[in-house]
Structure 1
Amino acid sequence: MALDTPSDAAAAIRPFLGPDFLLGSETARRLYAATADLPIVDYHCHLSPQELAEDRRFASITEVWLGGDHYKWRLMRGAGVDERLITGDADDWEKFHAFASVLGRAIGNPIHHWSHLELQRYFGIDDVLDADSARDIYERANEKLRRPEFSARGLVRASGVEVICTTDDPLDALEHHATLAEAADFDTLVVPGFRPDGVLRIERDAFGPYVERLGEATGAAISDFEGLVAALEQRIAYFDERGCTVSDQSLEIFPKRAATDAEADAILRRRLGGEALAADDVEAFRWALMRRLATLYHQRDWVMELHLNALRDANPRAMRRIGHDTGFDAIGEDRPIEALREFLGELEAADALPRTLLFTVDEAQNKQLAVLATCFPGAGIPGKVQLGNAWWFNDTIAGMAAQIRTFAEVGFLPAAVGMVTDSRSFLSYPRHEYFRRIVVDIVAQWVESGEFPANDATLESILRDVFHNNAVRYFRFDVPLVST
């Protein structure tokens, strides 16, 4: 319908990131108001426990905002920004100005939303950030950062974060988690997450030295598969004693070749002897070790997260210059569904299947994974195996909505364990608000269209579970459930 007058046009345009952002109906606004202030449970992130333990202060908004956020780095590269102004030796102002110049034109990109939500929620800055406003916003934000409450812990408090689960190497001493557990002035529960990449990536040059350090940490040289599993079991026990309830496996390619322990032992011995392995042997070893690890997780009542289809370091030259995890990963084309069925089925048959979250960066696989997950139920455990939330490149309005709708259509949405930041930035928590607004609006659409009863008590109960309670139960975090 054509707009008749300029005043009609103005009335039809919502304010940028206004209170009704992403909320398309009165039902959505009412449900969001009832659930907006629920505590955040961030069960998978890459925040530094050391920076939290030391309560790091930040010299500038560039440092806290752009210092490790490869989502923002990728956006800048897409706009043709020179790497010197991203990860290079440019000063903080130059980097901030370069980012602002890009952000002001990043129409349709969720980083435009996230960044402005972060400016609003933390700094009280409602202005649009672009090249023209950059200097003023830079100075106002830096002035705020000089205040005591803008330390690492202060930012977490201001975000309403109840639980943080970090991502930690099995060799980590977890001393920073111990410091945080003893901090009388910090109420957020910070627990470790077990990330065994170092032992799963047997093909890498770093594998041998890593296994040697693992042996030193556990008091026994590792020369065979059973010795490796025993060392990992010791480290799992160490993590468990310090509050860990989750392990995270990141897999470019899910192993397709099942292997026995004896086969894995032979492969390991050859690798420790300096032999390069064929791809088939790499997959066989990974399968066998993952099966043993999953059994250990089940024994400890841990959750197993499987992050699938990320094509790591797609730009080899950039990886050599800048390093891993710097924004040069992509979406792979692995098709793991048959192998996953066999892997999960083998664990189920042995009564050793832990609660499992299946994350994928390939949105096209959402329905396959969501349906497969429902094939492995657990009595008394809603969503024992389930599709993880929209992840990484799918952290968009369309991506989150697609994941939620798929989960609801083929599974049981009230069992979903909600959103994770998967972030290295202390300013990333408005992404939970983003997620909640999207979910609430979808639920409201179902109500407004007559697809679900307009029973606010039921709807609010479902949303409280998805946004908070389910994650607390699923991961067994020692924090209270929210009932109203």
Structure 2
Amino acid sequence: MKAFIHEDFILENKYAKQLFHNFAKDMPIIDYHNHLSTKDIAEDRQYQNITQAWLEGDHYKWRAMRANGVSEEYITGNKSEKEKFLKWAATVPHTLRNPLFHWTHLELKTYFNLDTLLSSSSANEVYDQTSNLLQLPENSCRNLLAQKNVKLVGTTDDPLDTLEDHQKNNNENKVTMVCPTWRPDNILGIEKGKDFLNYVNRLEEVAGKEITSYEILLEVLKDRMAHFNAVGCKMSDHSLSEVPTGEAEIEEVEGIFKKSLKGITLTKEDQNAYKKHLLIEMGKEYHRLGWVMQLHVGALRNNSERQFKKLGPDTGFDSISDSNHVIPLSKILSDMDLKGQLPKTIIYNLNPADNYPMGTLVGNFQDGITPGKIQLGSGWWFLDQKEAMEWQINTLSNIGLLSKFVGMLTDSRSFLSFPRHEYFRRTLCNLLGNDIEKGLVPNDINWVGSLVQDICYNNIKQYAFSDLKL
């Protein structure tokens, strides 16, 4: 029987196969947004088993296991690593038609050359084989990146981070550059009361400066951005469950911030005014520094209060919001654009209903100078499977320029997740190959293949990392 994952997986005709094998497959990878552990890279962690590499922090798998009736002790609890893997293996057959089924077997094939379908019956054998291979020096964290020709990873880092691991990585790791990404969600979270005040206190400690006003806060944040910039930061990133609305001058925001420092409960209008003003002020600084601003829009987070209290955030209890994000986001972009201080921006929407609204929104703020300055980002989170990748590609093709698209990223916490780039590339080549077969795209393989290579690597290199030698 033919292996499930084979060289022409997803590729439906000869044109798709030519595009993938001759143009896409061997292109390097810039994974410009992920949640990889910089500590693991700096220490060149050696995983002792497949559970450590696959199930630590992977809330995609955790959600599937819960849906399959697996109790929490086998997911985030204290069961042994092998017991947790066996429960995951028993879940995998039930993920048929879920992207986890594809990703799981693509990763087993890519890193371990295993054609075995994972299930309860194969679990022990797969656990032993993969764990033995992961313990080899050539499969340490850095080497796993090198195996997939990953030239750069963009991690996700709080302004409090000293970035020592990044500096160590780039001094010692000559294969994959590790760039920090400025993620200031905590300083925007003024609605969190005591948690917000605790965060401001920690920021004071790192900055060595007392933050008694909004003006000083802006100074401290700019100083921290300068530190990030010196260590190689090229991008910022924001998670916006709701895009802030309203209008407020800096004097009003100053008053709002000082009320917060005193522990006074703020109205929703006050919270929004602070968030919007600070987001715009940081955006102007990104523009000055030449950074790319990433906006992840539309996640409805921590829906289960019971599980949030028990397990905390990012544990698999988030979903898609149906709020209107386009109108307030348009106003924020327009404010920066009006002042000539709109940075390069990538917008990722989580609701597929927002594909066309967001896709048309980005077209309003192209500057006629920078190719693809404002981007409709790749399929994100619940939309990073084959079908939703096709939706995003088709949307961008219909109302923008696919040729200027900066391509795929993993958004992952796993060092085994890089076959997702291959998954995207196969999907892209299959779409274009089918268009060639139907006569919708010229049968010029070299021309279309060049476009594929731009989307896979060249565009993001030029867009955000043109000054780096990768």
Give SS of 1:104's match. helix
Deviation at 1:216, TM superposition (A): 2.6
Letter in 2 for 1:331: I
Does 2:285 align with 1:296? yes
Letter in 1 for 2:228: F
Instruction: Give the structure-2-normalised TM-score.
Output: 0.98
Aligned equivalents of 2:124, 2:207: Cα separation in 1? 52
Aligned equivalents of 1:436, 1:189: Cα separation in 2? 22
Q: Which residue of 326, 329, 332 maps to 1:337?
A: 326
Deviation at 1:219, TM superposition (A): 2.7
Letter in 1 for 2:76: T
Give SS of 2:60's match. helix
Deviation at 1:15, TM superposition (A): 4.5
- Alpha-carbon distance change, 469 to 287 in structure 1, aligned in 2, over 3 angstroms: same
Q: Which residue of 26, 30, 38 maps to 1:41?
A: 30
Equivalent residues in 2 for 1:1-400 (5 A)? Answer: 15-34=3-22, 35-183=24-172, 186-204=174-192, 205-400=194-389
Paired position in structure 2 for 1:5: none
Instruction: Tell me which moved more, 442-451 or 228-237.
Output: 442-451
Deviation at 1:217, TM superposition (A): 2.0
Deviations 1:22-46 (A, max 9, x none): 1111000000012201111100000
Structure 1 regions of 5+ residues with no counterpart? 1-9
Letter in 2 for 1:30: Q
Letter in 2 for 1:62: T
Letter in 1 for 2:428: V
CA contact (8 A) 1:170 1:195 kept: yes
Work out which structure has the larger RCO, using CA pairs closer than 8 Å and 6 or more positions apart in sequence.
Answer: 2
Aligned equivalents of 1:123, 1:280: Cα separation in 2? 53
Deviations 1:165-186 (A, max 9, x none): 0000001000001111111x53
Deviations 1:355-390 (A, max 9, x none): 001111101101100111011112331111111100
Aligned equivalents of 2:295, 2:434: Cα separation in 1? 31
Instruction: Tell me which moved more, 192-201 or 469-478.
Output: 469-478
Does 2:403 align with 1:414? yes
Aligned residues: 468
Aligned equivalents of 1:222, 1:191: Cα separation in 2? 28
Aligned equivalents of 1:36, 1:413: Cα separation in 2? 19
Aligned equivalents of 1:334, 1:106: Cα separation in 2? 29
Aligned equivalents of 1:39, 1:62: Cα separation in 2? 27
CA contact (8 A) 1:254 1:334 kept: no
Structure 2 regions of 5+ residues with no counterpart? none
Aligned equivalents of 1:99, 1:138: Cα separation in 2? 11
Deviations 1:107-126 (A, max 9, x none): 10100110111111111111
Deviation at 1:469, TM superposition (A): 0.8
CA contact (8 A) 1:153 1:186 kept: no
Aligned equivalents of 1:15, 1:141: Cα separation in 2? 18
Instruction: Tell me which moved more, 230-239 or 278-287.
Output: 278-287
Deviations 1:251-309 (A, max 9, x none): 11001213221121111000001011111211111000001000000000100000001
- Alpha-carbon distance change, 478 to 188 in structure 1, aligned in 2, over 3 angstroms: farther
Aligned equivalents of 2:403, 2:49: Cα separation in 1? 41
